[in-house]
Structure 1
Amino acid sequence: MYVIGATIVSVATTFPEFCVSFIASLMKHPGTAVGNSIGSAVCNIGLILGTSVLVKPMVVQKKTALRQGAFMIAAGVLVTLLAIDGQLSHLNGLLLLVGLVCYIWYSVRRSAKQPNCTANNTPRTAGGEWLCQQRFSSILRFCIGGLSVGLGSVLLVQNAAVIARWLGVPELIIALTLVSVGTSLPEYVTSLTAIVKGHGDLGVGNVLGADVLDILWVLGASSLVRPLSIQRQTQVLDFPFMLLLMGLCVLFSSTGQRIYRWQGATLFGIYAIYLLLMFHLFT
């Protein structure tokens, strides 16, 4: 179940971030593209996981947390090093996407080694025609949903720029806060629901997997479209807080014991401090 949370569910919940950053890159808004990706990675741990644990403490398997957490931290360190010159180039984007392929390959390989729990419990469908209709309906709804997210992303990018000019703050800050929180709502609903229902592995797996995808998939594809400039704020504030929260997330979830409320409060508190410093230093 943990592997499912870190791959399939995370891809679906990260799709809004991908659309927003990809379209922002196409529309020449690098601040929005970068801010949405990094802001979502920070929000996933500080806000989503932090408040979810405050609602209900949970237990996560140690080995799986370490494996997925290692990928997350490696992705965070990689993008920090690649952006040290103030830009994510086409080559940097290609390297991030190569990392994405490695991550997906590893996740699929791990999933294949797990016993199939549903193979003997899945009822056979008597009507092939009914099954075909269900598949067609699912594909149709998926396409409509994807189109809606794409159109919504265009409007979101355009209005983020308008709000930034109206408030007199950089687009990057709007993307790191309002935009990233908005695009992270699917992760919030998924993780909180899973944790409340007692599926801690799925909840944490969704957060770790979403952070990996926010960096490798979202930033990789966006910088492949057009090189992305990395502002000084991202280098001195956003990246350090992102890596700090990633490290604490792995530390708290890899003990093999319960993730307690005080640990959730710590993650949320660091996220709040990050927001305060951002608005104090860069607005």
Structure 2
Amino acid sequence: QKGYPKFKKKSSIGSYYLIGTIHVQRHRIQLPKLGWIKLKERGYIPTNSIKSATIVKEYDRYYVSVLVDQPSSPIFKPKQTDGIGIDLGLKEAVSTPSGVRIKSFKTNQTIIKLDKSLKRQQRKLSRKKKGSHNWYKQLLKVQRLYRRIKNIKKDIKRKGILSIVRTNPQFITIENLNIKGMMRNKRLANSFQQIGLGYMVEWLKIKCRDYGIELRQVDRFYPSSQICSDCGHIQPMPLNQRTYHCNHCGMIKDRDTNASVNLKQATDYTVIV
């Protein structure tokens, strides 16, 4: 191959795998070649049946993830409810017919404040000499802000998906999104990246597998936003039109709610979980 090799960065994020004799006490863990290491979270890791461990470095923090051989605990399930459809979008990241929604992060005041602080800290970083001691100190501040924003977004998405799955629906129907194609849109690429629709779909698959819920996926070209959920009439719906007003039966409904009802009523689908 032509050109210079691109070496892997070892300064910010990395991980490696450990296998062998691993002992755990309440406040510390013994790892191969590393010895006893203090734990910040005490009494969290089981003390026996540990098979392996993975050490992860994320900026200025180190995490240990252990694989434990133990039976899975039973999950409490309420009475099974009717199936639901989940519409994924930009304004409302997740919308269901019952009104459960995960709003876009653009309206979250905590993330807005952190984004403003991130801009200031990045501006300070750009003014310092790269590689200097003060540059590394400032880089750490920027990395910590990135990590906090990421954790807040992940927490919102996980809790929103879990609140839907815990209602124990008979099935869940989602869209087959072309995320790579969406990222090619220069105007909307940043918005799709900030929401992280792909992560929400993967987390939904994991939770549906844990709770034993059937997860369905309709075809990529299924016009869920253009179909009237009452009469089945199809009409064009541009992105700036947020309310569906049917020209055939006169039904007026929110665009995302109408799409989620259509996904629930879809008959042509593929079972992915």
Q: Same fold (TM over 0.5)?
A: no
> Is the radius of gyration larger for structure 1 or structure 2?
2
Q: Which structure shows the higher helix fraction? A: 1
Structure with higher strand content: 2
TM-score normalised by structure 2 residue count: 0.28
